[in-house]
Structure 1
Amino acid sequence: MDQLLNDFSPGLFFMQAFIFLILLLLLAKFAWKPIIQSLKIREESIQDALDSAEKAKEEMAQLKADNEKLLDEARQQRDAILQDAREVANGIREEAKNDATKQTDKMIADAKTAIEVEKQAAMAEVRTLVAELSLQVAEKLLKRKLDDEGAQKELISDFIKDVKLN
Structure 2
Amino acid sequence: MEELFEGLLNDHLGFVFWAAVAFVLLLILLAKFAWKPIMAAISERERSIEDALLKAEAAKEEMARLTNENEQLLKQARAERDLILNEARKIKDQIVGEAKAQANAEGARMIEQARIEINSQKAVALADVKNQVASLSVEIAEKLLRKQLADQQAQDAMVADLLKEVSVK
TM-score over 0.5 for the alignment? Answer: yes
- Which stretch has the larger CA shift, 131-140 or 31-40? 131-140
Number of the residue aligned with 2:30:
27
- Letter aligned with residue 41 of structure 1: E
Indicate yes or no: 2:134 matched with 1:130.
yes
Distance 1:145 1:61, change over 3 A: farther
Partner of 1:90: 93
Change (3 A) 1:91 1:145: farther
Match of 2:112 among 86, 105, 109: 109
Show the counterpart of 1:69: 72
Report how many aligned residue pairs link the two structures.
143
Give secondary structure in 2 for the equivalent of 1:85: helix
- The one-letter amino acid of 1:149's match is A
**Code of the aligned partner of 2:45:** R
> What are the superposed Cα offsets for residues 24-44 of structure 1, whole Å, 9 maximum, x if unpaired?
432221121111111111111
Distance 2:47 2:110 in 1: 92
- Give the structure, 1 or 2, with the largest relative contact order (CA under 8 Å, sep 6 or more): 1
Tell me the amino acid that sits aligned with residue 120 of structure 1.
A
Q: Cα deviations across residues 6-50 of structure 1 (Å, max 9, x unaligned)?
A: x9xxxx9xx978766644432221121111111111111111111
Unaligned runs of 5+ in 2: 1-8, 162-169
TM-score (norm 2): 0.66
1:148 equivalent in alignment to 2:156: yes
**Cα drift, residue 57 of structure 1:** 1.3
Letter aligned with residue 109 of structure 1: E
What's the secondary structure of 1:33's corresponding residue?
helix
Separation in 1, partners of 2:33, 2:39? 11
User: Which residue does the alignment assign to 1:79?
Assistant: 82
Counterpart among 52, 57, 61 of residue 54 in structure 1: 57
Identity %: 38
Give the superposed CA RMSD: 3.4
**What letter is aligned with 2:68?**
A
Partner residue, 2:166: none
Change (3 A) 1:112 1:18: closer
Gaps of 5+ in 1: 1-6, 154-166
Shift, 1:55, TM fit: 0.7
